[in-house]
Chains A and B, each alone.
Chain A
């Protein structure tokens, strides 16, 4: 049985159809990158997988169960989403923010058990924010904020993690840090679906690429197999040469004019 399978999916905002008739399988325990030009429907697809949006047609199944037939709480125990532009509210500490990740697991009042507290502390530790835990979340720099959100997702303890452009707004050092953190999560057993705009990073850090254009699946496969200059020129309209990364061995794009 496949892990995450999408069948005959049609998504639209009002009359505008964003994705039509999409079939896709995502494998367990892998990092899958969704790539494609701006506005091709990556965020829309991710939100539908996360059950935030309801498809007009088609199904999203996680371990064979249609997630759109389950309630929010059940789904939130299985998958976590880091949205493209998360809202960090005023007046809460970083620890509060991370502890919200326990919401799917605790009761109406959000009281944390000792175990929950421990999970929150571990998550803060993991992203290196223990010292700042009692600072207001809205006062963080972009990089720290992104780490706080990652900690929240860690605290949620889901098997599937969806990340929508987690590296935007980050400098190169924090980008690499974040991508490595993503790798660690994956090694700890989580399945990850991530939207990335940097194709070289996608090739280097992900096991599988899913290439979308105008809401259609163009190609799917490992970077080494499918990432070619033809693909880049047909999807992004960019003439490029593909070389081999001298260190990681992954395909690397060098754009020509």
Chain B
């Protein structure tokens, strides 16, 4: 297991180096102007790693709590809720500093989660309901975002790029926003891992093994929402990484969260980094948003999971 995690970490490092090397400016030019390397690519690579890791962990926590491999923050509407809150802030209060997007996104994500739990009621743990209501919520939030955008046409471009999930134009200031949040949230997520292992045995058993089930569920979900929301605030709505990373991680290192959570983080980071490298090298000089690429690959993967899933 440790070996597998090591391999993933190594692959991530290689990707990171590739991410710094590759780009629309060729390497020789880039070397002569270290500014390009440092300012742009390195910070961008770091953001992809941090945001990807956040999405991976958020997915692992959500799946752990909901006990369902089809759950992830974007499928249950949390990401869309964060997106709506962040767009609202971006469009209606353009004078606010960028850092305000983070609390706004977190609040939006939490409200979306509360709305989801309220709408699903007693069936909060039934996978089909959760995903269906979550998708409906996502559409609804999406519609509100569209409405906002069309009523504020002067801001539409910046907001659109941000909404599809792009790492374009992100710099060191964003790294400094992301880093402290993660230094707190990631270790905290790890401290929940044992409890999540027990939660996987069912509420009754978890209870009888000394877990305060409600408390763990609340803490883990809020952590997941916070992580997803922060990545939304920085990179926009990047879908499917929260679904795919923990799922692959489970295949690779099994179901114990002390391994699963860090592996999902590594894989999430690697996936987003890949998507971002592809996004800026596939069709230069045009930049595709990384979020488009993750959806192009993630959506069929989700369908594949749905077809295989037997727990309806």
Instruction: Judge whether A90 is part of the interface by a CB distance below 8 angstroms.
Output: yes
Q: A91-B250, A103-B209, A104-B210 are in contact. Are A109 and B204 (CB under 8 A)?
A: no
Expressed in whole angstroms, the minimum distance between the Cβ of B209 and any Cβ of chain A is 4
The answer to whether A87 touches B201 (Cβ under 8 A) is: yes
From the candidates B194, B200, B204, name the one contacting A103 in the complex (CB within 8 A): B194
Check: A238 CB closer than 8 A to any chain B CB. Answer: no
- The verdict on B150 contacting chain A, using a C-beta distance below 8 Å, is no
Known contacts A92-B254, A100-B201, A103-B198; decide if A87 and B67 are in contact (CB<8 Å): yes
Interface residues, chain A, with chain B CB atoms under 8 Å away: 47, 50-52, 71-73, 75-77, 79-81, 83, 86-93, 96-97, 100-101, 103-104, 108-110, 156
> Do B209 and A101 have beta carbons less than 8 Å apart?
yes
Closest to A89 in B: B200
Interface residues on B, range: 20 to 34
Provided the pairs A110-B194, A110-B197 are in contact, do residues A50 and B207 lie with their beta carbons within 8 angstroms?
Answer: yes
Question: Shortest Cβ distance from B221 into chain A, in angstroms?
Answer: 18
The smallest C-beta distance from A107 to any residue of chain B, in angstroms, reads 9
A109: contacting residue among B194, B212, B250, CB under 8 A: B194
Within 8 A of A (CB), among B171-214: 191, 193-194, 197-198, 200-205, 207-212
* 11 contacts across the A-B interface (CB closer than 8 A): A50-B208, A52-B203, A52-B207, A52-B208, A71-B212, A75-B208, A87-B202, A92-B254, A100-B197, A103-B194, A103-B210
Separation of A100 and B208 alpha carbons in the complex (Å) = 11
- By Cβ-Cβ distance, the 3 closest A-B pairs, closest first, are A91-B255, A76-B210, A89-B200
A residues in contact with B123, CB < 8 Å: none
Pairwise interchain contact B250-A90, C-beta atoms closer than 8 A: yes
B209 and A89 contact, CB distance less than 8 A: no
Excluding A52-B207, A79-B208, A91-B256, 4 further A-B contacts by CB distance (< 8 Å) are A52-B203, A86-B204, A87-B202, A90-B250
